[in-house]
Amino acid sequence: MKVTDNRAHDCQCAIELLKNSIKKAEAKGRKVKEVIADTGIDSHEIFRYLGRKGIKPVIEVREDGVITGNRARDEVVRVIRSGAGMLVS
């Protein structure tokens, strides 16, 4: 957990928190398989980081998200645009 004031966006702290969580899990001989989160950490940087680590992002994407070549995130954006509702990858 990291406490910030209202000037810090969730995405700014998420990578650091994810790195710490992954490190702790690995120290216990465990592997993080997926990360579940709300739109607070919907960012291309988060999706890329999780992809590099082989971790499945189960992150709610903002309804106004755009397709930019980030495969995992773009898949969710396409589903939202198709009218199938909010789907996490």
Give me the mean pLDDT over the 7-36 stretch: 89
What was the pLDDT predicted at 89?
A: 46
87: pLDDT confidence band, cut at 50, 70 and 90? very low
pLDDT at 30 over 90: yes
Instruction: Kindly report the pTM of this predicted structure.
Output: 0.76
**What's the pLDDT at 55?**
93
The helix (run of H) or strand (run of E) holding residue 49 is helix 44-53
In this predicted structure, the answer to whether residue 47 has a pLDDT above a threshold of 80 is yes
CA of residue 47 relative to chain centroid, distance: 5
Closest residue by Cα to residue 57 from 73, 69, 40: 73
49-76 pLDDT per residue, tens? 999 999 998 888 888 888 888 888 898 8
Residue ranges of E strands in the chain:
34-37, 56-59
Beta bridge partners of 34: 56
